[in-house]
Amino acid sequence: MAQQHPAEAPARELWSSRVWPQLLPELAERIVGCLSCNDVAAAFRQVNKATAEAFSGPQHTIVRLSEPVPPHAFAAHWLAPGATRGLNLVRRRKLVRLVAASGVLPNMEVMLQAAGFYGAAAEALNEAALAGQLLMCQWLWDQLANGADDLADPRGEYNASSALAFAACGGHRHVCEWLLALVDRVSPSAENLVYAAASRGHVDLAEWLLQQDIIRAIRRRLRLLR
């Protein structure tokens, strides 16, 4: 986790005495140093006025949505009335992708509800695959397969093939293994998966993909058509 920059004395003593009066300021500072930037920005700064003032620099106030955000703080912000009213589709799609990459399931559930556009779950699946977030991929797949998300695109094989391409680009074999097991067939463009993995330096993954029966079958079919 990211380490926080020390707060200046006596400000350090002021905030620490109001949070942990029984601890030495140096120890309190070390505890905060173990928190992530998002923990500080979204949660710890809200403890009281002293912490808000002591941790007011940009490294303590910017919440990075591609990294884990405390779910209670995330829900409080994005489920508030009008939270996404001023966001166009481009920005909403970006939000969905960022949260998918973070791997925090409760936050993804909130964001799908808040984003409110068709195909949000399918787009999130691609981004989660790119980031190697297997648990997030599995949860999103369930949303698509079960139709629980009215905004989801239910085209299962298309979603799996698309996500597989993203997983290959990210070099995530464990995600590729899971996605290949989901479908009976993959788009002929799956031959490009090998190139996508190799061109980004994921040579071991490219070699593994070449050995998979479903990819080998596609390559044989394409050779017959040439």
- Going from N- to C-terminal start, the domains of the chain cover 11-61, 66-151, 155-226
pLDDT bin (cut points 50, 70, 90) of residue 186 is: low
Lowest mean pLDDT segment, chosen from 38-52, 98-112, 209-223: 209-223
* Contact call for residues 69 and 107 (beta carbons, < 8 A): yes
SS3 33: helix
Alpha-carbon gap, residue 84 to 6, rounded angstroms:
35
By CB atoms closer than 10 A (0-12, 13-18, 19+), residue 85 is exposed
Q: Is 14 or 130 the better-scoring residue by pLDDT?
A: 130
Mean pLDDT for 135-144 is: 93
21 token code pair: 């009066």
- At 158 the pLDDT is 60
pLDDT band at 18 (very low <50, low <70, confident <90, very high): confident
Percentage of the chain beyond pLDDT 90 is: 39
* Residue with more model confidence, 18 or 195: 195
- At 54 the pLDDT is 78
Q: Is the pLDDT of residue 15 over 70?
A: yes
pLDDT band at residue 162 using 50, 70 and 90 as cut-offs: confident
- Do 51 and 19 form a contact (C-beta atoms < 8 A)? yes
Q: What's the rounded Cα separation, in Å, for the pair 24 and 7?
A: 14
| Contact criterion met (CB below 8 Å) for 124 and 143 | no
Among 6-15, 56-65, 94-103, 161-170, the least confident range: 6-15
Answer with the residue of higher pLDDT: 25 or 1.
Answer: 25
For residue 7, the model assigns a pLDDT of 46
Say yes or no to pLDDT of 2 above 50.
no
Instruction: Round to whole Å and give the CA distance between 38 and 133.
Output: 19
**Worst-scoring range by mean pLDDT, 51-60, 85-94, 163-172, 214-223?**
214-223
Angle of helix 156-170 relative to helix 134-146, nearest 10 degrees, comes to 170
Number of neighbours of residue 63 by Cβ within 10 angstroms: 15
The pLDDT value given to residue 160: 82
